[in-house]
Amino acid sequence: MRIKRISAAVALAAAGALVISGCAPGGGADDSADDSGLVEGSSITAAWNQAFYSMNGNSSFGNATANNNINYLVLDGFNYYDNTPKLVKNDSFGSYELVSEDPLTVKYTVAEGKKWSDGTEIDAADLMLHWAALSRALDTPDFDPAEYTDPETGEFTDAFPTDVVYFDSGATEGSQFGLVTQTPEIGDDGRSITMTYDSPYVDWEVAYGTMGEILPAHIIAKKSLGIDDNAEAKQAVLDAIESDDAEALASLSAFWNNGFNFTEMPSDLELVTASGPYMISDFEADQFVTLTANPEYTGDNTPNIEEVTIRFIPDPLAAVQALENGEVDVIQPQATADITTALEGIEGITVATGVGGTYEHVDLQMANARNPENIFSNPDVRQAFMMTIPRQEILDTLIKPIIGDDAILRDSYIFVPGAEGYDESVANNGSAEYAEVDIEGAKALLAGAGISNPEVCILYASNNPRRVNEFALIQASANQAGFNVTDCGSTDWGGLLGTPGAYDASLFGWQSTSLSVTDWTANFVTGGINNLSFYSNPRIDEISQEISGEFDPAAQQELMMEADKILWEDFFGPTIYQFPEVTAISDRVEGIDSSILAPTIFWNTWDWAVTDGGSEE
């Protein structure tokens, strides 16, 4: 085994957008390759700790790393981040240009000849539907979907109104992509759209159409509007948007929300229509997804490997065993001390360790919670519960044995440790009050609020050993203060996050996906896609709008520090630690070099290759 360490200073400089963080053995490559460099018959198997369940990572239900690892490879887009990390323009898919700064106007054009895997052209219809979904500019005003969410699955129920236009992308009025309220203009070539922002937006370049996002408009129209012909379906999308046809848009939005959610290979293969270098070719529930090179793909990211299988292995020790047995070629498991010890005994692998771009935290549902009295609507109860979270004990017991002195608490909701502004914000945001457990203080707060023995049911990944141990430490500590912490752990935790009635608090990680200035706001702004707590603060909403149009770095930092302090003062829920990261790679493969940003190991899957010396017979 060879070991290399990820530089914590470099790793922790990344900040920005966040996403929820939670088969047969690979065969040897033969020597044949087509002109693109694809090696026929070649295969690689990777492992991930959570199963895929949605091909729509832009919905609140599907917004999870486990989904977006795969969506990134099957849905092409205008740009992506490499592992520097640096934003890379994907000109082979299409181009975008800043037409005007005042008003902010951007033109997106799909490159000529780009096709979906079924041979249908990728064009303005796809771009227009993506705009409608991400901007929510055509949504029915003031509609609240909360009562139509199934507490057992997290998906919308069959009772969801059929006359409501609602794209579940979490866009909010007056900030980010919610600023694009005017219907874009379609270019004469039918492959471009030009959109004008209502006001300047600092992160416009990563606001729209990055890899892993744009869904096939013709498939959505065919399934929701009952149209058989692909061209007619595309035109129906354009007609509905340009005429603001509420009836058609209601059907389109309903399918956009739920139609791409599946936990095994769908019988309707049109649902896996792809535009990226790979397409889903096989999917066994809770076991694996197999991706096969997309024959219609003509972009620059043409893969070397014909088939990539991603096995779902929640138990990190089982992932290590699979690597040792040659059943998988690369793993990036939830790291524990046992993992690092187990990897030390394996020959023929390379291991990289360090601090990752994900941070652990506890969310407290402040509305629509499980208890009839809505326990965390009371700020005293939120503060009391935060005072019981054994943050340092969790770090010392579960994280330091993995990465030693690099293990650090995360004391900011917004700034990443090591990034500019982190130390200054932490010194003033009030997080120091939660550096140590204060059981007596928590008891006093509950007594003052007239509350005794409040039940708090915590949602977490019950098949993740580290989370199981964290839950046990939190439960033991909080119960000492008079809380009755109960177990809402589930293997389906990802889909349940943000579901009214499913739990009171949740334990999970947020993983950085970009270097944008504003995307953190989606976690805290009223109605934001990542605001799973139903939290609402008018000043946070104002800051969200202000920072969207703020181009001065010093002013941006001041706004973020103000927001950070407000979140601690509102007892949003405690941050805990920055994730340790362990990546182990078999010597039979090359080209794998993980990124600090999601999708981490998968960011350049098209560059992966099987080495001659490692090929199996």
Q: Do the domain assignments include residue 507?
A: yes
Cα separations (Å) of 11 from 70, 203, 357, 596? 23, 21, 7, 6
Q: Is residue 343 part of a domain?
A: no
273 pLDDT band, cuts 50/70/90, is very high
pLDDT digits (tens, 9 = 90+) for 277-291: 999 999 999 999 999
What does the pLDDT read at residue 1?
Answer: 61
Confidence band, pLDDT 50/70/90 cuts, at residue 90 = very high
Output the average pLDDT for the chain: 91
Q: Residue 85 half-sphere exposure, CB side, CA atoms within 13 Å?
A: 27
Average pLDDT over residues 215-240: 98
DSSP state of 176: G
Which residue shows structure tokens 């203009």?
A: 185
Q: What are phi and psi of 21, to 5 degrees?
A: -105, 125
Residues 249 and 378 in one domain: no
**pLDDT, tens digit, for every residue of 230-252?**
999 999 999 999 999 999 999 99
CA 13 to chain centre: 19
Confidence (pLDDT) at 372: 60
Residue 83 in domain: no
Residue 298: its pLDDT value, please? Answer: 96
Strand-pair category, 18-21 with 505-512:
antiparallel
Q: Specify the number of domains making up the chain.
A: 2
Give mean pLDDT, residues 600-608. Answer: 97
**Residue 176: CATH number of its domain:** 3.90.76.10
DSSP string covering 356-394: EEEEEEEEE--SS-SSTT-GGGSHHHHHHHHHH--HHHH
CA 274 to chain centre: 19
User: Is the CA virtual torsion 48, 50, 53, 59 positive or negative?
Assistant: negative
Flag whether 321 is in a domain.
no
CA 215 to chain centre: 16
Domain coverage including residue 537:
357-578
pLDDT tens profile 342-366: 999 899 999 988 788 889 999 999 9
- Residue 396 φ/ψ region, left for φ over 0, alpha for ψ in the -120 to 50 degree band, beta for the rest: alpha
Pair 108, 245 in one domain: yes
The verdict on 380 and 240 lying in the same domain is no
Q: What does the block give as tokens for 370?
A: 């499980």
pLDDT at 23: 35
What is the predicted pLDDT for the residue at 615?
35
Q: What is the CATH number of the domain that holds 422?
A: 3.10.105.10
Instruction: Give the contacts of 592 (CB within 8 A, at least 6 positions apart).
Output: 330, 583, 585, 601, 604, 608
Contacts of 430 (CB under 8 A, 6+ apart): 565, 568, 569
pLDDT at res. 16:
56
Q: What pLDDT digit, counting tens, does each position of 31-85 carry?
A: 445 556 899 999 999 999 999 999 999 999 999 999 999 999 999 999 999 999 9
Are both 240 and 387 inside the same structural domain? no
Cα separation, 311 vs 314, in Å, equals 10
Among 367-381, 514-528, 532-546, 567-581, the minimum mean pLDDT is found in 367-381
pLDDT at 14 over 50: no
User: 3-class DSSP state for residue 478?
Assistant: helix
CA 340 to chain centre: 26
